[in-house]
Amino acid sequence: MLKDEILRVEIIWLHHNILVAGHKRKWKTMETRNYWWLEVTKNMGKYVEDCNICQRMKNKMKMLVGKLKLSEVLEKT
């Protein structure tokens, strides 16, 4: 890695991984930034995409299983 790349990763880490930031998604992390370089959005997206904690906390969008089926009500005997 070049020095610039190491510095970029460190900057992204400081704005994404610290406890106060709370692993914000890509656009939330980008909102509060005080830095800029070419392809900063692309680098931020790649970093968040590779973040293990973010991927584990991510909502899973799956197809619905089907309609809810009501169970039968038993009669008293």
Residue spans of the domains in the chain: they are 3-57
Please give the biggest Cα pair distance in the chain. 80
Per-residue tokens: 22: 């709370």
Q: Is the pLDDT of residue 32 over 60?
A: no
Q: Give how far Cα 74 sits from Cα of 67, 68, 71, 77, Å.
A: 22, 19, 9, 9
25, burial (CB in 10 Å: exposed 0-12, middle 13-18, buried 19+): middle
| pLDDT tier at 20, thresholds 50, 70, 90 | low
| pLDDT tier at 37, thresholds 50, 70, 90 | confident
pLDDT digits (tens, 9 = 90+) for 49-67: 888 887 777 766 666 677 8
Q: Are 16 and 48 in contact (CB under 8 A)?
A: yes
Question: What pTM value is reported for the model?
Answer: 0.59
Mean pLDDT of the chain: 77
| pLDDT tier at 33, thresholds 50, 70, 90 | low
